């Protein structure tokens, strides 16, 4: 065996890493835009657009008809 007598000399340096302080790294969602999801999002958007702008529809107030 090619033993190398010079490999390690002197005192060992003890600490190979600093102290640990665990902070978890959360997994991020990578949800693809599948057709059903896109359709659902589209429908939600359309419904949101057709929501009445005023609290009471005009037809609800007979005096205004």
Q: Give me the residues that bind other proteins (CB under 8 A), please.
A: 1-4, 6-10, 12-18, 20-33, 37
Give the shortest CB-64-to-other proteins separation in angstroms.
43
| Structural contact between residues 64 and 58, judged by C-beta atoms closer than 8 angstroms | yes
Give the shortest CB-12-to-other proteins separation in angstroms.
6
Closest to other proteins by CB, 29 vs 52, is: 29
| Structural contact between residues 31 and 37, judged by C-beta atoms closer than 8 angstroms | yes
Closest to other proteins by CB, 19 vs 52, is: 19
Chain centre to alpha carbon of residue 60: 43
Structure tokens at 46: 């359309």
């Amino acid at each position: 065996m090619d033993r190398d007598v010079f490999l390690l000399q002197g005192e060992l340096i003890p600490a190979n890493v600093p102290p640990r302080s665990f902070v978890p790294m959360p997994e991020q969602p990578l949800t693809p835009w599948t057709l059903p999801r896109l359709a659902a999002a589209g429908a939600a958007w359309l419904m949101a657009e057709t929501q009445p702008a005023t609290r009471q529809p005009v037809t609800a107030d007979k005096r205004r008809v």
